[in-house]
Amino acid sequence: MYDVREWRHAFKLDPNKDISEKDLEKICESGTDAVMIGGTDGVTLDNTLQLMSRVRRYAVPCCLEVSDADAIAPAYDLYLIPAVLNSKNTTWITGAHHKAVKAYGEWMNWNEIVMEGYCILNPDCKAAQLAEAETGLDDDDVLAYARMAEHMFKFPVFYLEYSGTYGDPKLVEKVKTVLEDTVLFYGGGIRTAAQAAEMARAADVVVVGNVVYEDIHEAVKTVRVVKQTGL
């Protein structure tokens, strides 16, 4: 059983984007704690299975971050399930989840499922628009969502998602101070090892995505600097 509490770094790969076998090998053998497969648009059963089968050739844990129930397949190590706490549409908080459990709950292995309390803070990203996220939040709003994730919903993960833009390290630090058992994930806009190190000083887990497709060498460097950076 893989435990997100033991993670410090993860790569997120989009099944709707191309990655060469050479670059995928660099990612999977980089020393990262996990490869997450997930995206906002163009996610299908075919392309997630294809990417998963390629990642499976390596020893790194392979996890599916579920954005579409129709793209769920067996053989992942973990299934990460987002609940967008700042969504104005209950579909993204409990609605889609209820539909999936109603259809598949009898066969679910709950030990492989990790709930993520998401807070999406970039109003221009596709995830915010799809989930109808209320992004005009002040720091106290975000801290309240973090406390809700841990103490009300008992989520194992609270995920600050800036998706494509670099977030506010000071806010990430504040969020960390109000979480005790819930693991703080940060994702969004990390394009340099220096940025990864900065966020690693605040968050438990740094998730690196877009730079994989922009600068593979810089992406791989983020693993070492995150692992060397203490909270």
Convert 169-208 into a string of H (helix), E (strand) and C (coil).
HHHHHHHHHHCCCCEEEEECCCCCHHHHHHHHCCCCEEEE
Any idea how long the chain is? 231
pLDDT digits (tens, 9 = 90+) for 105-162: 888 899 999 999 999 999 999 999 999 999 999 999 999 999 999 999 999 999 999 9
Residue type, 192: T
Structural domain spans, the chain? 4-228
How many percent of the chain have pLDDT more than 70?
99
pLDDT category, 15, cuts 50, 70, 90? very high
Looking at residue 103, its pLDDT comes to 86
Residue 139 is given by DSSP the state: H
How many percent of the chain have pLDDT more than 90?
87
Name the token pair of 170.
């000071």
Distance separating alpha carbons of residues 129 and 103, to the nearest angstrom: 27
Look at residue 12 and tell me whether its pLDDT is greater than 90: yes
- Three-state secondary-structure class, residue 113: strand
Residue type, 87: S
Looking at residue 104, its pLDDT comes to 84
Q: ∠ CA 222-3-186 to the nearest 5 degrees?
A: 40
pTM: 0.95
pLDDT digits (tens, 9 = 90+) for 59-114: 999 999 998 888 888 889 999 999 999 999 999 999 999 998 998 888 889 999 99
Look at residue 1 and tell me whether its pLDDT is greater than 70: no
Q: Just give the CATH number of 4-228.
A: 3.20.20.390
